[in-house]
């Protein structure tokens, strides 16, 4: 059944890609302008440009199979052709992302594979292969990291491992129960050793001890950083906390760029994952929401501006939206961002859809908690202000201004 469901999701993904592309004139126009051929001979005639849109979309509609009139099997290997199709899908997705206001590029711009269309060669006009901000740098590194991990751990082995994985805990249910019990936003306490903006937050970092202290202090759920390069986290921390008897549902705080990561997180003990709207186009969000539902994960979808909030409110099936008060490109924090994104029609849509809003970043005092709660937040995700405390349990008391453990 899992295999059939997975095949159906994959089919839906390519269908969504084709529909999104064909129904978006702006994207089509930008894509055509970005592709050009150098001088080449076409049927014996000299030519300097050539449109590939009709052939390209024919490839998409036909399940990415090459048209026999274009690709000569004797001159183009199957491997080269598959790489070409992968590049083509990536280019389409990048163009769609740009039309949705996404400025974060998923990987460095590269030239398309050789032998792209039989005897013709063309190049994509590149920007400089340097990340424009810290988030883009993280995402590019994550793309390389995940590519390498996928070579070692196949998706089939992960699906097999799911059969013996811990049953998922009710992440949203825990947040709602905490809100009803305490009258304060449910706390997602973050197990985090370091961050790119603040460096090492806790030298004597023991993830299991920190997690137990959070649970003792009244945390409803825990967020566990698994990125190694920038946050000094790892999936072993997630597994260790899950196996240590901690009852709080666990969010895998990772930079998700590939659906493979969802399966991997689930096998490591995650009950929820983070999907970042600044990184993932709508197509990927929809696709990953389906996978999350299929394998028992809750998705916390993170936004940080009006455009991202509007995009996510137009997608069905989202139950949990996090508002990050940190600008993901500059890392500047402003908690008034939460209030701004929950005012007017947006706030009304959130109430109609019964979406739980999670306040993120810049929350250090009881006054900060009261401010975002008044704006409409029913959960908060906090790391720095409590993990830095000698006793994280006491840090939670200071954050809320009272004991919320009972």
In the prediction, which pLDDT does 198 show? 85
Helix (H) / strand (E) element for 189: namely strand 186-191
Contact 273, 265 (CB under 8 A): yes
- Beta strands 250-253 and 298-303, pairing class: unpaired
- Beta strands 379-382 and 186-191, pairing class: parallel
- Residues written for the chain: 406
Which residues are identified as catalytic?
190, 192, 253, 302, 324, 360-361
In the prediction, which pLDDT does 95 show? 75
In the prediction, which pLDDT does 151 show? 94
Upper half-sphere CA count for residue 299 (Cβ side, 13 Å)? 30
Q: How many angstroms separate the CA atoms of 14 and 319, rounded?
A: 24
Contact 242, 150 (CB under 8 A): no
Give the three-state DSSP class for 290.
Answer: helix
Of residues 306, 245, 299, the one with CA closest to residue 270: 299
In the prediction, which pLDDT does 52 show? 36
In the prediction, which pLDDT does 72 show? 46
Q: How many angstroms separate the CA atoms of 7 and 90, rounded?
A: 20
Which residues, given as ranges, of the chain have pLDDT below 50?
1-2, 4, 18, 21-22, 25-76, 114-117, 121-126
In the prediction, which pLDDT does 16 show? 54
Q: How many angstroms separate the CA atoms of 99 and 105, rounded?
A: 13
């Amino acid at each position: 059944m899992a295999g059939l469901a997975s095949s159906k999701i994959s089919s839906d993904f390519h269908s969504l890609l084709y529909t999104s592309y064909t129904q978006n004139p702006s994207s089509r126009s930008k894509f055509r302008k970005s592709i050009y051929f150098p001088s080449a001979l076409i049927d014996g005639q000299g030519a300097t440009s050539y449109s590939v849109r009709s052939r390209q979309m024919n490839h998409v509609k036909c399940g990415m199979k090459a048209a026999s009139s274009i690709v000569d099997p004797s001159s183009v290997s199957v491997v080269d052709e598959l790489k070409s199709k992968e590049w083509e899908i990536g280019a389409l997705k990048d163009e769609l992302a740009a039309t949705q206001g996404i400025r974060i590029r998923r990987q460095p711009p590269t030239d398309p594979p050789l032998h792209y269309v039989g005897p013709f060669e063309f190049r994509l006009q590149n920007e400089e292969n340097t990340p424009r901000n810290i988030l883009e740098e993280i995402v590019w590194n994550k793309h390389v990291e995940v590519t390498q991990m996928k070579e070692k751990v196949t998706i089939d082995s992960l699906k097999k491992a799911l059969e013996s994985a811990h049953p998922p805990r009710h992440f949203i249910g825990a947040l709602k129960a905490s809100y009803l019990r305490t009258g304060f936003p449910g706390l997602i306490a973050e197990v985090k050793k370091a961050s790119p903006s603040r460096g090492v937050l806790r030298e004597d970092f023991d993830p299991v001890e920190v997690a137990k202290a959070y649970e003792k202090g009244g945390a409803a759920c825990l967020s566990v950083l698994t990125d190694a390069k920038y946050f000094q986290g790892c999936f072993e921390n997630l597994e260790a906390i899950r196996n240590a008897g901690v009852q709080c549902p666990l969010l895998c705080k990772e930079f998700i760029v590939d659906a493979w990561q969802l399966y991997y997180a689930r096998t490591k003990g995650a009950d929820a994952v983070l999907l970042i709207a600044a990184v993932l186009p709508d197509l990927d969000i929809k696709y990953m929401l389906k996978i999350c539902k299929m394998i028992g994960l809750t998705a916390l979808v993170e936004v940080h501006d009006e455009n991202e909030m509007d995009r996510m409110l137009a997608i069905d099936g989202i139950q949990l939206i996090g508002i990050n008060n940190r600008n993901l490109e500059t890392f500047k924090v402003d908690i008034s961002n939460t209030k701004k994104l929950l005012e007017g029609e947006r706030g009304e849509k959130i109430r109609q859809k019964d979406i739980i809003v999670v306040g993120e970043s810049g929350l250090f005092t009881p006054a900060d908690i009261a401010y975002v709660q008044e704006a409409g937040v029913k959960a908060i995700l906090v790391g720095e202000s409590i993990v830095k405390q000698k006793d994280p349990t006491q840090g939670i008391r200071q954050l809320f201004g009272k004991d919320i453990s009972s």
